[in-house]
Homo-oligomer: A and B are copies of this chain.
Amino acid sequence: MSAGWFRRRFLPGEPLPAPRPPGPHASPVPYRRPRFLRGSSSSPGAADASRRPDSRPVRSPARGRTLPWNAGYAEIINAEKSEFNEDQAACGKLCIRRCEFGAEEEWLTLCPEEFLTGHYWALFDGHGGPAAAILAANTLHSCLRRQLEAVVEGLVATQPPMHLNGRCICPSDPQFVEEKGIRAEDLVIGALESAFQECDEVIGRELEASGQMGGCTALVAVSLQGKLYMANAGDSRAILVRRDEIRPLSFEFTPETERQRIQQLAFVYPELLAGEFTRLEFPRRLKGDDLGQKVLFRDHHMSGWSYKRVEKSDLKYPLIHGQGRQARLLGTLAVSRGLGDHQLRVLDTNIQLKPFLLSVPQVAWLVRSFLPGNQEDPHRFSKLAQMLIHSTQGKEDSLTEEGQVSYDDVSVFVIPLHSQGQESSDH
């Protein structure tokens, strides 16, 4: 998959844009419908162009060209999003150096050149301003590279050793590792998980230092050693398209899908709700007339439903309220995982959202697959990305069912999974 959506990243030290105040985040900025370059599908130059606010077209990096970061293997459709858009993206080559734990107990770079090479694509859907999404687009890949370099010896071993330096303290160490079923892929998954945590901490520090706010979801694809990894914290979606199958590669984390975890936390720490919210879920918000009635509800221990008699405290605003894409955590946030939001509070209160949020991604991996057929048109992936975005907006070539139109920002990466031969001939 590729042909995608792409944002220029901010350079280190470059000032971040001023934040917008947080608030209900369904559509925290006035909606401006993204405009596509008409006819771009028949004009390769246009499809490769990124539009900046001043409308000067900027040439994309050449296809397959390797830049230090945030470039490489992507074609660009920007849909006139500004540099300060809450949707951000990054992609590029992942160059992992080989390091070794030296005798001096210091990390020595044995090979300053790349030792392992992978590819990285990431989408960040921001809220409460673009600051967190921009920081994530600038930071997460560095965290990941660092995490991978710290375990690279284990990555290239037949089986990750119990001790990174290869010493064997206990003769049956390989057996212990085997019994736990630990494979090299688990080190990549662990590196992704730790990179998300690290990036979240960086965002927390940077935004606090600069007096800014905001958060973002993160959806990351990594191709490494012939395998594709998807790491998702938020409500973006990755799908694998094969000739006769469409397979979801990510699970969305929203207040609705993580209801039991969030209610459980409020059950254990009722003080997090400051007496302003009810932990319980009802089909709709209750009102005075419901008092004393037995109504449908569910609590943290229930995947099913039951009835309870309505008490006064049940009339409070629900911890999770709304349905589907409209569901909000504490009336504020539509996602339950992501990066940032360290300072986010419910409007006009001191109630924090961060305790309910996780920066832990769910990681799925699969052996790299190959895209069949239709190899003639060099812009086929751009066209597909464009068609997918159009379809969410109810355009003529729409794929979407009637009524399923989005008024939010929409970003798409299409990443073609080539065979080894195709890949090397491309580069």
By a CB distance below 8 angstroms, the chain B residues around A367 are none
**A47, chain B: closest CB distance, angstroms:** 37
Determine the interface band of chain A, counting residues with CB < 8 A from chain B.
Answer: 35 or more
With A304-B363, A306-B147 given, is the CB distance from A298 to B169 under 8 Å?
no
A323 interface residue per 8 A CB criterion? yes
Contact of A306 (CB < 8 Å), options: B169, B187, B295, B363: B187
Closest to A358 in B: B301
CB neighbours (8 Å) of A163 from chain B are 290, 293-295
Q: Which residues of B contact A290 (CB under 8 A)?
A: 163, 169
Known contacts A165-B293, A283-B179; A186 and B305 CB within 8 A of each other = yes
In contact, A294 and B165 (Cβ under 8 angstroms): yes
Residue interface bits A172-193, CB-to-B below 8 A is 1, else 0: 1100110110100111111111
Please indicate which of the listed interface residues A154, A172, A185, A324 has the most CB atoms of chain B within 10 Å of its own CB. A154
User: Inside 8 A of A165's CB, which chain B residues have their CB?
Assistant: 293-294
Q: A160-B296, A290-B169 are in contact. Are A284 and B190 (CB under 8 A)?
A: no
Contacts of A296 in B (CB 8 A): 154, 160-162, 177, 182
Chain B residues closer than 8 Å to A11, beta-carbon distance: none
**A287→B171 CA distance, assembly (Å):** 13
Q: Is the CB of A150 within 8 A of B307?
A: yes
Whether, in the assembled complex, A302 has its beta carbon less than 8 Å from a beta carbon of chain B, the answer is yes
Complex: A126 Cα to B283 Cα, angstroms: 38
A10 at the B interface (CB under 8 A): no
- The distance in angstroms between the C-alpha atoms of A305 and B192, with both chains bound, is 10
Chain B residues with CB under 8 A of A169: 287, 289-290, 293
Q: State the CA gap A170–B289 with chains docked (Å).
A: 9
Does chain B have a CB within 8 A of A164? yes
Q: Does A115 sit within 8 A of B, measured CB to CB? A: no
Instruction: Please report which residues of chain A, range 201-240, place their CB below 8 angstroms from some CB of chain B when the two chains form the complex.
Output: none
Contact A180 B101 (CB under 8 A): no
- Annotate A337-367 by CB proximity to B: 1 below 8 A, 0 otherwise: 0000000000000000000001010110000
The verdict on A167 contacting chain B, using a C-beta distance below 8 Å, is: yes
Q: Tell me whether A197 is interfacial, beta carbon within 8 Å.
A: yes
Count of chain copies: 2
Other-chain contact of A304, B167, B187, B283, B302 (Cβ < 8 Å) = B187
**Are the C-beta atoms of A295 and B176 separated by less than 8 Å?**
no
Asked whether B303 lies within 8 Å of A363 as measured between CB atoms, the reply is yes
A194 at the A/B interface (Cβ < 8 Å)?
A: yes
Closest-by-CB residue of B relative to A101 is B294
Instruction: Flag if B295 contacts A162 (CB, 8 Å).
Output: yes
A96 at the interface (CB under 8 A from B): no
- Give, as a whole number of angstroms, the nearest-CB distance from A284 to chain B: 4
Min CB distance A374 to B, Å, is: 35
Contact call B177/A301, Cβ cutoff below 8 A: no
Minimum distance in angstroms from A181 CB to a CB of chain B? 9
Task: Determine whether the beta carbon of A176 is less than 8 Å from that of B284.
Answer: yes
Asked if A180 and B302 sit within 8 Å, CB to CB, the answer is: no
Q: Which residue of B lies closest to A150 (CB)?
A: B307
Q: In the bound complex, do residue A180 and residue B283 qualify as a contact, i.e. CB atoms below 8 Å apart?
A: yes
A288 to chain B, nearest CB (A): 9
- Answer whether residue A3 sits at the interface, using C-beta atoms and an 8 A cutoff: no
19 A-B residue pairings within 8 Å (CB atoms) = A101-B294, A154-B307, A162-B283, A163-B295, A164-B293, A164-B294, A165-B294, A167-B293, A169-B289, A177-B283, A179-B283, A179-B323, A180-B283, A190-B305, A193-B301, A193-B303, A193-B304, A194-B302, A194-B306
